Amino acid sequence: MMAFAWPWMFVLLPLPWLVRRFAPPATPARQAALIVPFLEDFSGIQDGNVLQGDRKLLFAAVIAWILLVAAAARPQWLGEPIEQAVSGRDLMLAVDLSGSMEEQDFIIGGQRVDRLTASKWVASDFIARRTGDRIGLILFGSQAYLQAPLTFDRKTVMTLLDEAVIGLAGENTAIGDAIGLTVKRLGEQQAKSRVLILMTDGANTAGEVSPLKAAQLARQKNLKIYTIGIGADEMVVRNFFGTQRVNPSRDLDEQTLTAIAEQTGGRYFRARDSEQLQQIYQLLDKLEPVQKDQQFFRPKVELFHWPLGLSLLLATSICASRLRRL
């Protein structure tokens, strides 16, 4: 449908008539007298053709003014309403980049991959489904860094997650600092829900804040934390003496991760392989469903350039016609 963004501009339509009606007339310039002995030869200069031409110019000027005012009112074409899903939820994803994340105990597509690659593969799909949520990304190792602030741009968050590499934030694991940074970034936000999903494969070995102390701060700020412990329980490795079964997740501090989740009203998950990791994110979709508030957006197409162009074309034609008479 057609609409005007500034319809009040149409009050300017009678402006030329008001100027003509109430403005004082310009003082005519004093001209020298000219005696023409053959004055009767100019008696037909004000014939009907000239008067008719003046009426056409006046009509064109009126149309040009109407088009100019219409352009100033900003005509727009409004499309059909499009529903937008906005949940009002702030969700932060904290990913461990410590050196132990390079352990290749996950299998995707028949190929053995490291823990970080598996985490990216599943987390990217989870982020893509968070329509209506603001997503942020924290990367932590020996220190915690805010890689992506809260944003509706899920594609950018997925790109930044994909670009993360092991050791980028240090070789150790600062779980407490990652939680503390999340509390700092989400604590003042006016969101209906604040959620942190923390993925790690070890124990807190670095940082200035202990994980349980950071969890207390998170609970005070109504921040819910879901923790995910990554890594297989058993893995066959080859060495000089043949094959040996080892536990690649022996450093995983499940007790602390469970305490963090329970203290903030969240839940602890154990991901031993890529299938379990994917199931965890599917379960998180159910635990933190996308809530849709009914908000609508109508696409707008500006049309002011059409009446503006016609007005300028008519004005140019009027000026050219007057110049030809001089």
How far is it, in rounded angstroms, from Cα 53 to Cα 58? Answer: 9
The helix or strand, by DSSP H or E, that contains position 309, with its residue range, turns out to be helix 305-325
> What is the per-residue pLDDT for 76?
92
Among 276, 274, 282, CA closest to 110: 274
Q: Where are the beta strands (DSSP E) in the chain?
A: 2-4, 75-78, 82-86, 89-96, 106-108, 111-113, 134-140, 144-151, 193-200, 223-230, 235-239, 242-246, 267-271, 293-297, 300-302
Which residue carries 């893509």 as its tokens?
128
Both structure tokens of 60: 């064109």
Higher pLDDT, 286 or 318: 318
The per-residue pLDDT for range 185-203, each reduced to its tens digit, is 886 666 667 889 998 888 8
Percent residues over pLDDT 90 in the chain: 27
Contact 168, 160 (CB under 8 A): no
Report DSSP state, residue 42.
G
pLDDT band at 99 (very low <50, low <70, confident <90, very high): confident
> What is the per-residue pLDDT for 39?
45
Provide the CATH number for the domain formed by 85-294 in this structure.
3.40.50.410
Lowest-pLDDT range of 186-190, 279-283, 315-319? 186-190
Question: In 3-state terms, what secondary structure has residue 101?
Answer: helix
> What is the per-residue pLDDT for 288?
63
Higher pLDDT, 202 or 235: 202
How far is it, in rounded angstroms, from Cα 232 to Cα 249? Answer: 6
Contact 258, 270 (CB under 8 A): no
pLDDT band at 168 (very low <50, low <70, confident <90, very high): confident
Higher pLDDT, 280 or 157: 157
Among 201, 172, 175, 203, CA closest to 270: 201
pLDDT of 268 over the 80 cut: yes
How far is it, in rounded angstroms, from Cα 136 to Cα 151? Answer: 6
Determine the residue type at 229: G
pLDDT of 215 over the 90 cut: yes
Contact 161, 137 (CB under 8 A): yes
pLDDT band at 326 (very low <50, low <70, confident <90, very high): low
Lowest-pLDDT range of 27-31, 57-61, 231-235? 27-31
Question: In 3-state terms, what secondary structure has residue 172?
Answer: coil
Q: Specify the length of the chain in residues.
A: 326
pLDDT of 38 over the 50 cut: no
How far is it, in rounded angstroms, from Cα 50 to Cα 66? Answer: 25
> What is the per-residue pLDDT for 42?
44
- Give the residue extent of every domain in the chain: 1-12+51-80+298-326, 85-294
Determine the residue type at 219: R
Report DSSP state, residue 28.
P
Higher pLDDT, 53 or 36: 53
Mean pLDDT over 247-276 rounds to: 83
The per-residue pLDDT for range 111-151, each reduced to its tens digit, is 888 888 888 888 888 888 887 788 999 999 989 999 999 88
- Burial pattern 175-207, b for ≥16 Cβ within 10 A else e, equals bbbbbbbbbebbeeeebeebbbbbbbbbbbbbb
pLDDT of 44 over the 60 cut: no
pLDDT, the chain, mean = 80
Contact 220, 188 (CB under 8 A): no
> What is the per-residue pLDDT for 307?
92
How far is it, in rounded angstroms, from Cα 160 to Cα 188? Answer: 24
Among 194, 222, 225, 221, CA closest to 211: 225
Specify the pairing of strand 267-271 against strand 223-230: parallel
